[in-house]
A and B are shown apart, each in its own frame.
Chain A
């Protein structure tokens, strides 16, 4: 009963490997299918190598975040003014920065704050969004209106601007940046959760549960919440990439961890001043940020595609 929607999703959208093979091999003419089924599958098949690369890259990032010492041996803080601005070489694969620190070492050590930013900020945004969205979606009409108008006001600000406002009040630092980016994304999630909640709230299985006399809190916990949150969760995985970019933007603007912490955005901010004489200072963190955001987003999109139609 609970898993009405979920089971529907398995029915619709788990493209088993064999099926996919048939699909590509037998080309368009055989097996007349409804369009809605055929289209996502073809895309999935086409994306596969890219997806594998994205997956590998994310795995590598995870490793760098957990144990940067396995990938690089140097100290990201070891500075020596006499070794500054060395071009990429056998000794320094990505060159050295303005303080003579190894760029590759700093890049790898910068993975952890970036990933932390992406994940923690998403958790904060999701947590806050679910709380507000559920309350609004299940609460009284007046209360719902009040909360949602407030959320509308917040939505009028771009996320990054909202994060900047929060940082201005609380000061800079990695933790504050995480909280700022997370809180700034609450309104968006709140809106989504609320609309899902109102939809699920009227679903027949919820009606049935209520008719059966199940307690209100149990209905919310076992029936409404899981079904309302599922599509939001999937959207959130895509959001992780965006949060990493937002975190990099904040540290680019000088609101991240104070120097000498290795942060991609901060590395980029410094490097742009030396674009003409030391382009590797910009190239390395820029590529890292781009590849990370693309990989995480690609994985998130794939997840969404697989569950399309699940939450309605």
Chain B
């Protein structure tokens, strides 16, 4: 009987395989682990003028829910913000601020006063001129707790107030020296909105945002898509991008396509010109297709972590257990099942493309199950129960990890669970609805939470995620989910925040990363990648220096598909 079912099922499966005509792709070699070469400046700058006209059709995985970027917490739609809004500054390829809506700026010697000289020829799409009071209104709104901005507030927390010196001169007053201020102002979430719109229809900015960007929103249908039209009078792209005048594309049509398979097939069939979320499992096929181009970029900020330990709750309040868990993670194998050879495994606390990354700092966290076992023995978990898990005084070594319930595979958590089992650790996956998860996280009622990453355009992301002041309390919502509170680390990160001296920054951030590798609040897993794919007919595509997503002002279509 046993044989017969096996044969029947195997035969049926073989039949199905033949019917699909699918030949299984051989597993790709493990992702490259060599040194990271910085992206060349030409990736970010227009190389030659393009041809105007045409409609670019884009598919993307998820709806943002709102186009009011100052209130968005997610990092996926950052490229959309660049279509609608402009920022005061724009980074260059090295991460240095360059002029955009602000032509120049001065910083006081104590680092607490910034004076911006603004462009005088910019208008918002509703006709409102851009000036110093527009900047004041925007920063005031972002800073206002009533706006409920999710991430922008943490970024400009040191901003106290501003002053309109004259129509095109704006002064920002900070409570403390805060060197990443300009970097943060370059991020898509801090784009400038029309003060008229902020005043007249604050409630529907989510559907009808008004910015000064190269495109305007024609329509936005939830869960369907967004339609953009070019602004013909736009001529204030960031200097660094080297683009004059309006965008080349007449229109941009964005559709939300949540199914990974559908995003791949609709790109291949020519229904879309570009997908912002290329499924990693189809990367090999996309790379092999002569009509398509795959873009794979490592984002700035912190890499994806495998799991985030709650360092104040057993069992992860014991650093030996945290370290042992990290050592038990077969990072390369897991990264391969998630990224199909496209993701880079990493043990660093800063991404490879971020300034001041010290790739040697986390080397000690690489896969080493023997050392993991030795550490757990040392911590006293020497017993074994019938299922093979470690015990101490009759108690099994294990923890619940809270993850949001979704229909997606959860392959990462299952893989972690199996790796943990190999060192005798019982990792139990608890799926919760999003609201309940947030509630338990804010109440510090968890042992560990699932994977996460923090994307920002400065190494100050370490402060946001690991500084003691960033722990969530009744009055403050922070990102320090590992509840880490370490005076030495806090001091390093706090000083780095105030410093503008590159040599000192290098030293402080190197020390901070080494300290993090000692504390292991969350084991780094792989780089946070942007994976996109487009048809070869899309030309002139450059990347955003802050976010490593396409900056579509310079994109053009070789042949009009219409």
Contacts of B25 in A (CB 8 A): 277
With beta carbons under 8 angstroms apart, the residue of A71, A82, A98 that contacts B330 is A82
With beta carbons under 8 angstroms apart, the residue of A64, A108, A172, A272 that contacts B431 is A172
Binds B, one of A83-91, A114-122, A140-148, A240-248: A83-91
Known: A64-B5, A79-B414, A171-B433. 14 other contacts (CB 8 A): A79-B415, A79-B418, A81-B415, A81-B418, A84-B333, A94-B13, A252-B407, A258-B431, A259-B413, A273-B279, A275-B22, A277-B285, A280-B17, A287-B9
Contacts known (A258-B431, A279-B20); A98 close to B337, Cβ less than 8 A: yes
Contacts known (A79-B414, A94-B9, A283-B20); A274 close to B333, Cβ less than 8 A: no
Minimum CB–CB distance for B316 against chain A, Å: 21
Contacts of A71 in B (CB 8 A): 1-2, 5-6
Minimum CB–CB distance for B387 against chain A, Å: 11
Contacts of A192 in B (CB 8 A): none
Counting residue pairs across A and B whose Cβ atoms lie within 8 Å, the total is 142
Q: How large is the interface on A (under 10, 10 to 19, 20 to 34, 35 or more residues)?
A: 35 or more
Contacts of B281 in A (CB 8 A): 273-274, 276-277
Contacts of A77 in B (CB 8 A): 418
Q: CB-defined interface of B259-270 with A at 8 Å, one 1/0 digit per residue?
A: 111001000000
**Contact present for B27 and A60 (CB under 8 Å):** no
**Contact present for A276 and B282 (CB under 8 Å):** yes
Show 29 residue pairs from A and B whose CB-CB distance is below 8 angstroms, ordered by the A residue.
A63-B1, A71-B6, A72-B2, A77-B418, A79-B414, A79-B417, A80-B333, A81-B418, A82-B330, A84-B27, A84-B337, A88-B10, A88-B14, A93-B10, A93-B13, A104-B6, A104-B10, A254-B405, A254-B406, A259-B410, A260-B410, A260-B417, A276-B22, A276-B285, A277-B24, A277-B282, A279-B22, A280-B16, A284-B13
Contacts known (A104-B6, A172-B431); A270 close to B13, Cβ less than 8 A: no
Complex Cα spacing A14 to B25, Å: 55
**Contact present for A260 and B429 (CB under 8 Å):** yes
Contacts of B429 in A (CB 8 A): 258-260
With beta carbons under 8 angstroms apart, the residue of B9, B24, B415 that contacts A104 is B9
Q: Is B501 an interface residue, CB under 8 A from the partner?
A: no
Contacts of A274 in B (CB 8 A): 281
Minimum CB–CB distance for B555 against chain A, Å: 27
Is the contact region of chain B dominated by helix, strand, or loop, or is it mixed?
A: helix
Q: Is A99 an interface residue, CB under 8 A from the partner?
A: yes
The number of chain B residues with a CB under 8 A from chain A is 48
Complex Cα spacing A107 to B17, Å: 17
Q: Is B538 an interface residue, CB under 8 A from the partner?
A: no
Contacts known (A81-B336, A94-B10, A276-B282); A258 close to B405, Cβ less than 8 A: yes
Complex Cα spacing A81 to B331, Å: 9
Q: Is B160 an interface residue, CB under 8 A from the partner?
A: no
Contacts of B6 in A (CB 8 A): 71-72, 93, 104
Complex Cα spacing A78 to B387, Å: 13
Q: Which residue of B lies closest to A252 (CB)?
A: B407
Minimum CB–CB distance for B67 against chain A, Å: 28
Complex Cα spacing A88 to B13, Å: 8
Complex Cα spacing A98 to B337, Å: 6
Q: Is A278 an interface residue, CB under 8 A from the partner?
A: yes
Complex Cα spacing A63 to B12, Å: 20
Q: Is B284 an interface residue, CB under 8 A from the partner?
A: yes
Q: CB-defined interface of B7-36 with A at 8 Å, one 1/0 digit per residue?
A: 001101110110010101101000000000
Q: Is A269 an interface residue, CB under 8 A from the partner?
A: yes
Contacts known (A254-B407, A260-B429, A280-B13); A87 close to B24, Cβ less than 8 A: yes
**Contact present for A93 and B9 (CB under 8 Å):** yes
**Contact present for B337 and A85 (CB under 8 Å):** yes
Contacts of B413 in A (CB 8 A): 259
